[in-house]
Structures are given as C-alpha cells and as structure tokens.
C-alpha cells in the first residue's frame, strides 16, 4: 500500500502519519510489535488478558491500585511466567499506590498512572528500578504537566473511554491537541524514539 493511499484511507492526514510513526518507534523501543496498549480496566482484566495482549505484540496491563501486596506479587509473577514480553501495571492516583514498590521489586518495567500526576517520590521510585512510566491525560494542561515531570509517554484519553475521567471530547481531538501543543515537536513522546 502506498503512503498516499495510507494518508487518505487509513489515517487521513500527513500529521496522522507522523503520529503513527512516533507511536510505532516508541512501541519498538519497549519491545512491542504494535503500538497498542491495553487499558487496565479497573481490575476487571487480570493476568490472562495482560498476557494475551503482550503475546500478541501489544502492551498488556494489570490494574494494581486496589490490589494487596500478595495479590500484586501473584499477578505479576503469573504474567511473567506466561510471557517474556513487556507489560504494564497501572495505578489510579486518586488512591495511594500501595503496591507500586512491590510491583517494581517483582521486575515490572512499565508503569502507568491515571487520574492525576505522580508525586516526585513515586517518580523517583519508578526511576530507581529503571522502569519507564506514562501518564493518562485528558487535557492539554495535564499533558504539559506530565511532560514537565519527565513522563516517558502520554496516554490520551477521550470520551470513548466511557468518560470515566470526565472528558467529553473524542480521543482524536484530545490527542491532536496534546501532540501539537504539549511539546511543540508534533509528538507526545518525551524522548526521540
């Protein structure tokens, strides 16, 4: 398929192609085949789905906000037993991320935060284990704040996610605003992937 056909049929604009190029390079930097991240889905999705998504080439997810230390260890170990592929763990920052250290000690290499900006102590902890972290954002201000604290990537969330973060715009609008305004380079990624 030619680039021109992709521009008009699949993505709609040269800017969309540039975004996909950033996303694909970023995904490759994490060892992913596709730039697809599973949503943590509160706690409804467990190790089986995280494993399946990671095995298929995306980034599987475990929601650990409300998970005990024992269940965190068990869930992370179960995913690690089933796949050598990367996966993420997520924490909703409206609550204390009590099992963050436990997940990092278990070898998790990608952490995501939702519903807020992580505290300096949480960032330092993630970095001390050599892990990457991303922040879910729903506004341009949130994107700027996440990039200012050194987030490795953004998760742009729109109304398609059920508006659970209070956003009322489609993700395409959210992402386009973040990508064009957050770092001025046409991409939400902090590093040059």
What percentage of the chain carries pLDDT values higher than 90? 51
Q: How far apart are CA 111 and CA 132, in angstroms?
A: 6
pLDDT, averaged across the chain: 81
Residue 165 has what pLDDT?
A: 54
Residue 162 has what pLDDT?
A: 57
Helix, strand or coil, per DSSP, at residue 97: coil
Q: 4: which 2 tokens?
A: 């021109």
Residue with tokens 């398929």: 1
Contacts with 7 (C-beta within 8 Å, 6 or more apart), sequence order: 13, 14, 16, 17
The string of DSSP codes covering 122-133 is HHHHHHHTT-EE
Among the residue ranges 84-88, 123-127, 177-181, the one predicted with the least confidence is: 177-181
Q: 179: which 2 tokens?
A: 């990508």
pLDDT digits (tens, 9 = 90+) for 17-26: 777 777 788 8
- In the chain, what are the domains? 15-181 (3.20.20.70)
Q: In degrees rounded to 5, what are phi and psi of residue 46? A: -115, -160
Whole-structure pTM value: 0.79
């Amino acid at each position: 398929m030619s680039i021109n056909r992709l521009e008009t049929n699949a993505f709609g604009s040269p800017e969309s192609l540039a975004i996909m190029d950033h996303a694909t390079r970023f995904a490759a930097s994490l060892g992913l085949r596709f730039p697809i991240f599973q949503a943590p889905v509160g706690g409804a999705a467990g190790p089986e789905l995280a494993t399946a998504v990671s095995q298929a080439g995306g980034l599987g997810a475990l929601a650990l906000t409300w998970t005990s230390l024992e269940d965190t260890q068990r869930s992370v170990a179960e995913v690690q037993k089933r796949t050598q592929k990367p996966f993420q763990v997520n924490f909703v920052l409206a609550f204390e991320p009590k099992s963050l250290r436990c997940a990092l000690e278990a070898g998790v290499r990608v952490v995501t935060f939702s519903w807020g900006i992580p505290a300096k102590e949480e960032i330092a902890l993630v970095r001390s284990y050599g892990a990457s972290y991303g922040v879910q954002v729903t506004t341009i201000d949130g994107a700027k704040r996440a990039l200012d604290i050194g987030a490795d990537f953004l998760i742009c969330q729109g109304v398609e996610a059920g508006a659970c973060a209070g956003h009322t715009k489609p993700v395409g609008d959210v992402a386009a605003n973040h990508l064009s305004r957050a770092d001025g380079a046409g991409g939400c990624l902090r590093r040059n992937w």
